[in-house]
Amino acid sequence: MNASSLNQSDCPEVQVPFPLFFTIGVVSLAENFLVALAVIWNRNLHSPMYSFICSLAAFNTIASLTKTWENLMIQLAEGGHLQKRDLSMTKLDDVIDSLLCMSFIGSFFSFMAIAVDRYITIFYALRYHNIMTMWRARVILGVIWAMCGALAVLMVKFFTSNFIMICFISVFVISFTIICILYVYMLMRARIHARKIAALPSSGGGRCRRQLWWRKSMRGALTLTILFGAFVVCWAPFFFHLIIIMVCPMNPYCECYRSLFQLHVVLMMSHALIDPAIYAFRSAELRHSFRKMLLCSDWNQCS
């Protein structure tokens, strides 16, 4: 999926310095590993929603680690420290592309799972623990990872097939529409519910508890909306790059857009850098876990 071999227009390919790639990759890898470790370590975070967030951090880790490894191999090859072999390099490139596609699809389906989880939390609060159990969350995650791995291999193996690319784009558009509908519906229902709570009598602690629960649920929904917005902004140029390869591979204007491929990759890797910062800023429980892991020397005592 590298643009350098395809770009034959007058637009020079934009080159991003290797230290920038490497820095973003290492920092994002450390951040997402810290998120996954916090979810595993803190028993208060052993819930379906944080399991899905941990899965999202794992997919982000794969994306940043894969692209960092690819750029490191390119630097070693250009420096003469690594011998290029056509067959082995092709296989390695296919593996890297498969992992990148898997991280993209996995991130998207993780967001979809989180959106459904938030929807159940807000509108079926009394039955939430019966509907979304940890066992069901594990099954959902297993299905997501297996399906994403299979789809990624199919995408790379049959990349030149218009049918496969149309199916991929259709799945993306349908999933994106479902997530947007869920979030818009949640926000609309939130406004209606807030007015109903405001109209209740002011006496009694029931109203305060309902308000506290609703604010907490909507804060979680707002956090995930911010996460999803960051995902769309960071991954959309790369996704559009794939569409352009299929729709207009020889058009000079499309080739000019493809010359920005490395910038699209930097933006894609930056998503793995942004997500943990949003977690830490929006989730008090995760901030508390980060503080304990980073500042406490005795883990057994801290836990």
Number of domains in the chain: 1
H-helix segments, the chain: 18-41, 48-78, 86-123, 128-131, 134-157, 162-199, 205-247, 252-258, 261-282, 284-295, 299-302
d(CA 106, CA 24): 20
Residue 4 reports pLDDT greater than 50: no
| Dist. CA 31–CA 52, nearest whole Å | 16
**The CATH number of the domain where 129 resides is what?**
1.20.1070.10
Residue whose entry in the numeric block shows the structure tokens 């992992």: 99
The pLDDT value given to residue 135: 92
Host domain of residue 254: 18-198+214-295
Domain membership of residue 47 (yes or no) is yes
pLDDT at residue number 53:
86
pLDDT tens column, 217-255: 666 667 767 777 887 888 788 778 877 877 777 777 788
Please give the structure tokens belonging to residue 13.
Answer: 């390919």
CB-based contacts of 181: which residues, under 8 Å, 6+ apart? Answer: none
The predicted pLDDT at position 146 comes to: 93
Region 267-276 average pLDDT: 80
Q: Return d(Cα 261, Cα 255) in angstroms, integer.
A: 10
207 domain-assigned: no
Q: Say if 153 falls within a structural domain.
A: yes
Say if 230 falls within a structural domain.
Answer: yes
User: Is position 194 within any domain?
Assistant: yes
In a domain, 69, yes or no: yes
pLDDT at 296 over 70: no
Q: pLDDT for 82-137, tens place per residue?
A: 665 555 666 777 788 888 888 888 888 888 888 788 788 777 777 888 888 899 99
**What is the arithmetic mean of pLDDT over 59-73?**
81
Instruction: For residue 13, tell me if it sits in a domain.
Output: no
294 confidence band (pLDDT: 50, 70, 90): confident
Q: How far apart are the first and last CA of the chain?
A: 45
Residue 234 domain-assigned (yes or no): yes
Say what the pLDDT of residue 118 is: 79
How high is the pLDDT of residue 173? 78
- 237 touches 264 (CB < 8 A): yes
Is it the case that residue 205 has pLDDT exceeding 70? no
6 pLDDT more than 50 = no
CA atoms of 97 and 63, how far apart (whole Å) = 10
